[in-house]
């Protein structure tokens, strides 16, 4: 068993592990085990595995999430998965038919054995072929592709340059697909073909992807060269990539039957005003996108709002435009209705109305922030000072790319869970704000935190609003009362200007962690 292939059994059920161990012994493979997703991930990164057999509902990190994490890691991206679940079979995003296998219980031992054997055979790299590699400055990419085409090769051409890493999938000399920094198909291929520096490496491995690029290799290369030449000739007439655009007409009144690229660009402009973002996100090639944007500008359908320089773009705000777009994409990806998501909501629970006002006053300095209607509590009434009883929108922070962050006050009162649930669509955060050492207040804040986190995983910001920062004993007391984790920061509204740091930290948390679960657990 010294050289036996290692197969990780990431199964929660001990009986299933034993059953699979029996199957693996029959094939002469070595079984490693992990009872939860975290352990499975550790093992996958540490060991040289040939396959992972994973339960879809693994504890801590589910099977699907584990799959996505390992797929995004270059060391494990090609590791095949055999998913096991109870019926009905679920769809797995990124599932690679031909590489990965999905089986539902109950299953036959022989069938599983056959599946494992097939997977391992398919992923075995042939040892008779050698990897071809070199520098693009010495051999242009067009020549490499032509050579692979002439020799009817099969494999993946990996290209690395300072602009990123890209892959071209070739089978029998034909280009099947290409991927490059979030783009794919012809768009990615044409982009890669403009790269003049960097390295390439051809890996002769079986290609399991379906053909997604139409046309012969010759036609594709000719068209890529034509578009490259046209782009160079027309570059001066195209808008700069930092230009900000907006639609100048009511797009619903445009005639039917326009080219699909026009509809796509008009739809993208609604969400991504910067030319570079439109070009990156359009499914059409860079040249076609630039040409259409330019044509829409000439016809007055689009207009240039302003041209932002990279240095000036992020000035003043707590996050850069790129971060703002990443936040938007992250929020959008968590909810299915892309067009319906142009805002994210942060619940704000404060121990008093005056503290809420203080936060709003401090937040007012942040560019893009507008305070909501001042009537969120009845001015001059008992409620005005009763504190913490505000409900609804109290302010909005506009982010680059057309995303609003809404600050939504929730009342500090018993039995408010239905209210929190009802208004938690697009929830992306929770802010807890207090300024007194009152057990009831801290308990109420902790209850809100528990309720929100039981439904959605969102970053929680804990802000002490006292005039001075809390001392060590008080800080420990607050941390305990609010069940703060060790890596969570206890912020303070003092000194002046701290709110900027709080927002920056919150957005970083939102971007770093896998926050925001998509759905309320079916209530």
Cβ count near 178 (within 10 Å): 26
Q: Which is nearer to other proteins, 423 or 500 (CB)?
A: 423
Identify whether 370 is preceded by a cis peptide bond (ω within 30 of 0): no
CA dist., res. 511 & res. 405, Å (int): 14
* CB of residue 240 to other proteins, shortest distance in Å: 33
Chain residues in the site for other proteins (CB under 8 A) = 88-91, 93, 336-337, 340, 343, 376-378, 381-383, 386, 389-393, 406, 411-419, 421-423, 425, 451, 454-455, 518-519, 522-523
Report CA-CA distances (Å) from 324 to 105, 267, 320, 401. 43, 18, 6, 7
* CB of residue 372 to other proteins, shortest distance in Å: 9
- Given a contact cutoff of 8 angstroms between Cβ atoms, the answer to whether 341 and 331 are in contact is yes
CA dist., res. 177 & res. 212, Å (int): 5
- To which H or E segment does residue 406 belong? strand 403-409
* CB of residue 425 to other proteins, shortest distance in Å: 5
* CB of residue 362 to other proteins, shortest distance in Å: 23
* CB of residue 347 to other proteins, shortest distance in Å: 13
Q: Which is nearer to other proteins, 281 or 455 (CB)?
A: 455
DSSP 244-281: EEEE-S-GGGSPS---HHHHHHHHHHHH--BHHHHHHH
Token pair 């690229």 is at which residue?
Answer: 261
**Bridge partners, 51 (sequence order):** 7
- Given a contact cutoff of 8 angstroms between Cβ atoms, the answer to whether 319 and 330 are in contact is no
Cα 376 off chain centre by: 34
**Phi then psi dihedrals of residue 133, to 5 deg:** -145, 160
Q: Which is nearer to other proteins, 113 or 335 (CB)?
A: 335
Nearest residue to 397 via CA among 371, 423, 431: 371
DSSP character for 4? P
- To which H or E segment does residue 291 belong? helix 286-298
* CB of residue 384 to other proteins, shortest distance in Å: 10
Q: Where are the alpha helices (DSSP H) in 127-234?
A: 141-150, 185-192, 217-234
Q: Which is nearer to other proteins, 343 or 369 (CB)?
A: 343
- Given a contact cutoff of 8 angstroms between Cβ atoms, the answer to whether 53 and 8 are in contact is yes
- Given a contact cutoff of 8 angstroms between Cβ atoms, the answer to whether 178 and 159 are in contact is no
Q: Which is nearer to other proteins, 313 or 342 (CB)?
A: 342
Cβ count near 367 (within 10 Å): 10
Identify whether 182 is preceded by a cis peptide bond (ω within 30 of 0): no
Q: Which is nearer to other proteins, 486 or 522 (CB)?
A: 522
User: Which tokens go with 461?
Assistant: 């910001």
Q: Which is nearer to other proteins, 89 or 315 (CB)?
A: 89
* CB of residue 522 to other proteins, shortest distance in Å: 5
* CB of residue 154 to other proteins, shortest distance in Å: 28
* CB of residue 215 to other proteins, shortest distance in Å: 23
Q: Which is nearer to other proteins, 98 or 392 (CB)?
A: 392
Q: Which is nearer to other proteins, 115 or 426 (CB)?
A: 426
* CB of residue 16 to other proteins, shortest distance in Å: 20
* CB of residue 503 to other proteins, shortest distance in Å: 22
Q: Which is nearer to other proteins, 131 or 413 (CB)?
A: 413
Identify whether 25 is preceded by a cis peptide bond (ω within 30 of 0): no
CA dist., res. 163 & res. 363, Å (int): 38
**Phi then psi dihedrals of residue 206, to 5 deg:** -60, 135
Please state whether beta strands 199-203 and 243-247 pair in parallel, antiparallel, or not at all (unpaired): unpaired
* CB of residue 337 to other proteins, shortest distance in Å: 7
Q: Which is nearer to other proteins, 154 or 451 (CB)?
A: 451
Q: Which is nearer to other proteins, 66 or 244 (CB)?
A: 66
3-state secondary structure of 101: strand
- Beta-strand ranges (E) seen in 86-163 are 101-104, 132-135, 155-161
**Bridge partners, 492 (sequence order):** 464
Q: Which is nearer to other proteins, 88 or 257 (CB)?
A: 88
Q: Which is nearer to other proteins, 199 or 421 (CB)?
A: 421
* CB of residue 346 to other proteins, shortest distance in Å: 14
Nearest residue to 395 via CA among 445, 425, 431: 431
CA dist., res. 218 & res. 216, Å (int): 5
* CB of residue 523 to other proteins, shortest distance in Å: 5
């Amino acid at each position: 068993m010294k050289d036996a292939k290692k197969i990780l059994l990431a199964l929660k059920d001990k009986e299933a592990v034993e059953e699979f161990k029996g199957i693996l012994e029959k094939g002469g493979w070595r079984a490693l085990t992990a009872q939860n997703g975290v352990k499975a991930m550790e093992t996958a990164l540490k060991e040289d595995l040939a396959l992972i057999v994973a339960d879809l509902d693994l504890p801590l990190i589910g099977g699907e999430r584990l799959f996505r994490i390992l797929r995004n890691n270059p060391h494990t991206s090609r590791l095949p998965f055999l998913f096991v679940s109870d019926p009905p079979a679920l769809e797995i995003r990124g599932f690679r038919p031909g590489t990965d296998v999905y089986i539902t219980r109950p299953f036959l031992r022989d069938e599983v054995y056959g599946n494992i054997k097939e997977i391992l055979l398919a992923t075995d790299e042939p040892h008779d072929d050698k990897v071809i590699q070199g520098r693009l400055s010495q051999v242009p990419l067009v020549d490499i592709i032509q050579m692979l085409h002439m020799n009817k090769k099969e494999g993946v051409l990996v290209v690395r340059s300072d602009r990123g890493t890209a892959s071209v999938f070739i089978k029998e000399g034909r280009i099947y697909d290409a991927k490059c920094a979030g783009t794919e198909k012809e768009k990615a291929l044409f982009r890669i073909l403009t790269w003049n520096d960097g390295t390439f490496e051809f890996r002769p491995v079986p290609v399991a992807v379906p053909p997604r690029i139409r046309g012969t290799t010759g036609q594709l290369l000719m068209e890529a060269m034509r578009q490259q030449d046209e782009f160079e000739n027309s570059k001066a007439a195209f808008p700069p990539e930092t230009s900000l655009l907006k639609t100048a007409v009511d797009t619903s009144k445009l005639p039917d039957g326009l080219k699909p690229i026009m509809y796509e660009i008009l739809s993208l402009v609604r969400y991504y005003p910067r030319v570079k973002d439109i070009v990156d996100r359009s499914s059409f090639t860079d040249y076609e996108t630039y040409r259409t944007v330019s044509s829409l500008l000439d016809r007055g359908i689009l207009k240039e709002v302003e041209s932002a320089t990279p240095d000036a773009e992020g000035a003043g705000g707590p996050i850069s435009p790129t971060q703002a777009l990443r936040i938007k994409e992250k929020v959008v990806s968590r909810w299915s209705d892309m067009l319906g998501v142009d805002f994210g909501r942060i619940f704000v629970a404060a121990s008093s109305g005056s503290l809420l006002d203080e936060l709003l006053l401090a937040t007012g300095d942040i560019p893009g922030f507008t305070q909501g209607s001042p009537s969120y509590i009845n001015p001059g009434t008992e409620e005005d000072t009763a504190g913490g009883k505000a409900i609804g929108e109290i302010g909005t922070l506009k982010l680059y790319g057309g995303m609003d962050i809404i600050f939504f006050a929730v009342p500090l009162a018993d039995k408010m869970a239905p209210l929190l649930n009802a208004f938690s669509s697009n929830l992306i955060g929770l802010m807890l704000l207090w300024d007194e050492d009152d057990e009831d207040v801290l308990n109420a804040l902790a209850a809100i935190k528990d309720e929100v986190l039981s439904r959605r995983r969102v970053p929680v910001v804990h802000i002490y609003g006292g005039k001075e920062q809390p001392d060590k004993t008080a800080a420990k007391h607050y941390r305990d009362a609010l069940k703060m984790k060790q890596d969570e920061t206890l912020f303070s509204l003092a000194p002046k200007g701290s709110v900027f740091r709080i927002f920056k930290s919150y957005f970083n948390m939102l971007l770093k962690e896998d926050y925001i679960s998509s759905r309320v657990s079916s209530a």
